[in-house]
Structure formats: structure tokens, C-alpha cells
């Protein structure tokens, strides 16, 4: 199998679990109504605060890219609902993909647009979807009159105990630095209102790997905007014109003038533009929103290799996760089904908005996961740097820290697995010292 290794490109995949109510406001509205995902700028802010310095920005090879974190659907990262999906009004489990061919001429079913939730397996006949659970309440603020009567403001936040998945891309040095930081301490704060206990979360590493591409060929492809697309025209101005999307894809694939748009379904999202003269930010309606989907083909009808854009970033502001696209061969499955899932085995427990504390069972579960994860990640670090003779003291160290509830053999198993994974994933040679 022909595998092409992208030079110095590494991907760190992570999971983030909310431990308290979380409110992540829209950067334009700047209010207390949360968005149903974790933006890449939040992950970047966490890392920059830890390192005390700015991460490499821009769009070149040295840029650290923090993707949007979307809800966990069956152990995999969900993606925004494609704009071409609709359901029938008579049966909301019957989904229709308007981007696909194959609609029967005698089909007069009335359709209803759906949005706001997340899906997986978008190239399959049976679609799995999930909605993010939210809660609402009131926050108290001092008023402008100076008296003791506080003003109350409505907020909508993300419920605790929900899991989100995302990834971070960069070169090997950058990813290893981030990897060690998360391994040392996975407790983070995301969003606003942290002074009242909002935004507590725990982040853990799922996988670190070299970004690879395997040749994929198709005559037509579908390109899904996993995050807002920020494209610029030939004059450097923001534009949502699909002409510039096609040009950018041609540039990525090194095939100028060979692609054309078949059809698309998209919506728009306001972007932020900085006014340096007045030090202000203004919304500019020039972006294609998450879930926008495009069907592309070669003009000559021949198959082409689209592997370079199967999962990548294009356009501007990619450091904060914008411009992420996912590409698949176009499939003509107009008639589909959609099933809604709940997060976790028991779903999400309903809680009062003013009670951000997780249950004791969640604390115990996270503690156990944390000790095993710490052992695994310390094994990975040891495999690359230390190779000392004191690694067997790790089990005792962790038991002293967390108590005697965890099996010594289990801790050592996770530690040795960490060494093995590091050798495989990070190309670290085992010099036999461990």
C-alpha cells in the first residue's frame, strides 16, 4: 500500500469532558448564550496560557492548528449536520440528501430542513446524529446605579458530563510539547464565568500520530465544511463565492483550471475583522458556515486523487480551527435514515444550572482514568527521553498519590503500553535501556 508521510506534520487527537456547566459565547455577540462546540481558539488560549507564550500562528508549515471540538458520537468525533440534509415532515427518521442524485420523479414528499445537531458516517445510508445538551439560568451582575440590587442576565450553557473530540496539528516539536503538558495536568478551564465555577473540564490524549495520506480516487467528491470557511478573493477581501473555493482546491491538488462545482448547499456565518485605526472589531458576512457542503468534479470527467484534501485546512484563520474540510467520494444515496443517539450509556443526567458539581461516581471514574492515563503517558515520555532504571517505582508513586485502590499490575500494564505506543507512533528507537 502506497503511504505518503507528510513531512513534519503530526496530529494529536484528544477528548475533553465537561465537569461543570460551560458557557462559550459567540465572539461577535459576546453574550451568555453558548455555542454547541468548543472552538479552536479556546484550546489555543488554554495552551498559550500554560506556555506563557503565543503559539505559532499563520497558515504555513510552522502553524499550530487547533480544530473545533465537536461532540463524541460512539467514540468518534461528530461533524456539523450537512446543509443538504432534510427530513420528511411525516417521518423525521426518513432523511433525504439533496446533494445526491436518485430522487424518484413521483416523489412529492414535503421536506423540513434540520440543523444544530451533529452526525457521523455521512457517506453511509444510515446516519447517526446527536444534539448537545444545554441548560439555562440567570447570572447576577452589579448594576450601573451603584445600589445593592444586582441585575440578572439569562445564560444558556453546555451541560456537564458531555464529551467532545478534536485534534491539534503541528510539527513534531510542537506536538510533543503540547503532549507533555496535557500528560502532566489534564484539568483545564474553558469558556467564561469561571469565577462562579463554570468551565471546569478534563482533557486527555487519545492518539498521537504522523499525519499520513493514502491515494484516493473518484470522479466526483463531496467537500464538507467542518468549520467556517474563511476565503479571500484575488484582491485579498473576504468572499463566500464558491469560485474561490474551487480555486483553492485546485491549488491544494496542483491541478489549476481542472475542477468545477456541480452543486452546493451552504449557509453563511459572520466573521470578525479588526479595524486597526479605531481598534474595533466588526462582523463581516463573508464566510461559509459549518455544514456547508459542495459537490466537485473534474471537467474532463476523469478520476483524480483527492487524498491531499481528505482532511485538511484551507483559507485563512486556520490556526483557530477555521477552514477545516472533510472530503469523500460522492455517493448517490438520496434516501437515507437518521437515528438520534444519547451521550454515554445512560445519557446525560439532568442537573440544576446552579449546581456545577459532578457526581461522586464521575469523580471516581475520572480519577481511575487519570491514573491509568498518567502511567501511559509517562511511559511514552520515558521511551523518548529517559530510559532510566527507576520506572518500576512509578506504580508506587501513583498509588501514594491516589491511594491504594488501583491494581499495581494494571498501572504497570498502562505504563509499558505507553512505551510501546511511543516507539510505534513517534518513531523512537528502543535502545534497550528500559
Cα(101)–Cα(378) distance, rounded to whole angstroms? 51
Q: Cell triple for residue 227?
A: 468549520
Q: Cell triple for residue 168?
A: 491539534
Beta bridge partners of 374: none
Cα(344)–Cα(342) distance, rounded to whole angstroms? 6
β-bridge pairing 280-288 and 268-275: antiparallel
Cα(268)–Cα(288) distance, rounded to whole angstroms? 5
More confident residue, 363 or 380: 380
Q: How confident is the model at residue 366 (pLDDT cuts 50, 70, 90)?
A: low
Q: What is the helix (H) or strand (E) element at residue 342, kind and residue range?
A: none
pLDDT of residue 325: 94
pTM across the whole model: 0.75
DSSP state at residue 55: P
Cβ atoms of residues 428 and 434 within 8 Å: no
Q: Which of 250, 190, 239, 194 is nearest to 46 (CA)?
A: 190
The answer on pLDDT for 149 being more than 60 is: no
Cα(196)–Cα(198) distance, rounded to whole angstroms? 6
Q: 184-239: per-residue pLDDT in tens?
A: 888 899 988 777 778 889 999 998 988 877 889 999 999 999 999 888 777 777 77
Pick among 2.60.40.4350, 3.20.20.70, 3.40.630.10, 1.10.260.40: CATH of 217-331: 2.60.40.4350
Q: How confident is the model at residue 71 (pLDDT cuts 50, 70, 90)?
A: very high
pLDDT of residue 396: 61
| Assigned CATH class of 4-79+149-211 | mainly beta
The answer on pLDDT for 278 being more than 60 is: no
Q: Where are the alpha helices (DSSP H) in 185-317?
A: 242-253
Cα(168)–Cα(63) distance, rounded to whole angstroms? 10
DSSP states of 109-174: --EEE--SSEEE-TTSSEEEEE---EEEEEEEE--TT-SS--EEEEEEEEPTT-EEEEEEEE-HHH
Q: Vertex 145, ends 141 and 146: CA angle to 5°?
A: 75
Q: Which of 206, 204, 205, 202 is nearest to 189 (CA)?
A: 202
Whose cell is 527521553? That residue is 385
More confident residue, 5 or 307: 307
Parse the chain into domains and list their residue ranges: 4-79+149-211, 217-331, 361-425
Q: Cell triple for residue 412?
A: 504497570
Residue 336 exposure: Cα atoms within 13 Å on the Cβ side? 26
Whose cell is 467532545? That residue is 164
Cβ atoms of residues 210 and 425 within 8 Å: yes
Beta bridge partners of 166: 14
Amino acid at each position: 500500500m502506497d503511504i505518503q508521510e507528510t513531512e513534519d506534520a503530526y496530529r494529536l487527537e484528544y477528548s475533553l469532558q465537561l465537569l461543570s456547566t460551560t458557557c462559550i459565547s459567540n465572539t461577535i455577540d459576546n453574550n451568555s448564550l453558548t455555542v454547541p462546540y468548543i472552538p479552536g481558539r479556546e484550546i489555543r488560549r488554554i495552551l498559550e496560557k500554560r506556555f506563557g507564550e503565543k503559539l505559532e500562528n499563520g497558515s504555513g508549515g510552522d502553524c499550530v492548528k487547533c480544530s473545533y471540538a465537536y461532540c463524541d458520537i460512539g467514540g468518534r468525533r461528530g461533524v456539523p449536520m450537512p446543509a443538504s440534509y432534510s427530513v420528511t415532515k411525516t417521518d423525521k427518521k426518513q432523511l433525504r440528501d439533496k446533494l445526491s442524485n436518485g430522487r424518484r420523479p413521483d416523489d412529492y414528499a414535503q421536506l423540513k430542513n434540520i440543523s444544530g445537531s451533529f452526525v457521523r458516517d455521512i457517506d453511509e445510508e444510515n446516519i447517526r446524529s446527536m444534539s448537545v445538551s444545554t441548560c439555562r439560568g440567570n447570572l447576577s451582575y452589579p448594576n450601573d446605579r451603584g445600589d445593592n440590587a444586582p441585575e440578572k442576565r439569562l445564560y444558556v450553557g453546555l451541560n456537564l458530563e458531555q464529551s467532545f473530540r478534536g485534534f491539534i496539528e503541528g510539527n513534531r516539536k510542537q506536538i510533543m510539547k503540547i503532549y507533555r503538558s496535557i500528560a502532566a495536568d489534564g484539568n483545564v478551564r474553558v469558556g467564561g464565568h469561571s469565577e462562579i465555577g463554570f468551565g471546569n473540564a478534563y482533557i486527555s490524549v487519545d492518539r498521537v500520530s504522523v499525519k499520513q495520506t493514502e491515494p484516493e480516487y473518484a470522479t466526483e467528491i463531496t467537500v464538507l465544511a467542518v468549520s467556517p470557511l474563511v476565503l479571500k478573493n484575488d484582491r485579498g477581501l473576504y468572499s463566500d463565492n464558491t469560485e474561490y473555493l474551487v480555486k483553492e482546491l485546485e491549488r491544494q491538488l496542483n491541478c489549476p483550471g481542472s475542477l468545477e462545482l456541480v452543486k452546493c448547499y451552504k449557509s453563511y456565518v459572520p466573521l470578525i475583522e479588526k479595524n486597526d485605526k479605531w481598534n474595533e472589531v466588526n462582523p463581516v458576512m463573508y464566510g461559509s458556515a459549518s455544514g456547508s457542503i459542495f459537490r466537485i468534479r473534474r471537467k474532463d470527467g476523469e478520476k483524480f486523487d483527492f487524498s491531499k484534501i481528505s482532511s485538511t485546512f484551507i483559507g485563512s484563520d486556520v490556526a483557530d480551527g477555521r477552514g477545516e474540510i472533510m472530503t469523500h467520494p460522492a455517493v448517490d444515496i438520496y434516501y437515507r435514515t437518521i437515528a438520534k443517539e444519547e451521550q454515554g450509556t445512560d445519557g446525560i443526567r439532568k442537573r440544576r444550572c446552579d449546581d456545577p458539581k459532578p457526581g461522586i461516581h464521575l469523580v471516581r471514574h475520572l480519577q481511575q482514568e487519570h491514573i491509568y492515563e498518567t502511567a501511559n503517558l509517562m511511559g511514552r515520555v520515558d521511551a523518548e527521553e529517559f530510559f532510566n532504571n527507576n520506572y518500576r517505582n512509578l506504580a508506587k508513586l501513583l498509588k501514594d498519590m491516589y491511594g491504594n485502590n488501583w491494581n499495581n499490575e494494571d498501572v504497570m500494564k498502562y505504563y509499558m503500553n505507553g512505551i510501546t505506543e511511543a516507539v510505534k507512533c513517534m518513531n523512537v528507537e528502543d535502545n534497550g535501556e528500559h
